[in-house]
């Protein structure tokens, strides 16, 4: 069973709810935030990986990454950007995100990216 903690930052409640259920079924612990500012606060719970929407109110994904990068305690956490924006692949690369998936999500692509980037902490 995977024991990695995923921080899911997305302003769409339906997406957060659905992805949270799927990720929990896959064995991940899920923390949720509805914007980048909440996401910065959630970093204190030490997630292993971040799934980040780019277009959000209050603090968008790019602003979140820039703020996160300033903190050496959290700037090493891998980020998967997910967005419907047609330029999201370019923006993800510019922000040095570790992976990118487009909305509407291909669940297999997202799970593969998580499995590749998140540490798998097997129960001892």
Q: How many Cβ atoms from other residues are within 10 Å of residue 119's Cβ?
A: 12
pLDDT in tens, 7-46: 999 999 999 999 999 999 999 999 999 999 999 999 999 9
115 pLDDT more than 50: yes
pLDDT band at 120 (very low <50, low <70, confident <90, very high): low
Domains in the chain, please, with CATH?
Answer: 5-117 (3.40.50.2300)
pLDDT in tens, 65-80: 999 999 999 999 999 9
Q: What are 80's strand-pairing partners? A: 51, 99
Task: Answer for the pair 71, 44: CB distance below 8 angstroms, yes or no.
Answer: no
Phi, psi angle pair for 104, to nearest 5°: -65, 140
């Amino acid at each position: 069973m995977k024991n990695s903690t995923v921080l899911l930052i997305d302003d769409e409640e339906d997406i957060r709810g659905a992805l949270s259920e799927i990720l929990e079924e896959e064995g991940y612990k899920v923390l949720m935030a509805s914007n980048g500012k909440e996401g910065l606060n959630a970093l204190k719970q030490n997630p292993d990986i971040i799934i980040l929407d780019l277009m959000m109110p209050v603090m968008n994904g790019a602003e979140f990454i820039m703020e996160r990068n300033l903190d050496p305690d959290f700037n090493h956490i891998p980020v998967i950007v997910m967005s419907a924006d047609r330029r999201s692949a370019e923006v993800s690369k510019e922000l040095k995100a570790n992976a990118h998936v487009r909305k509407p999500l291909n669940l297999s692509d997202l799970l593969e990216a998580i499995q590749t980037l998140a540490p798998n902490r097997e129960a001892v």
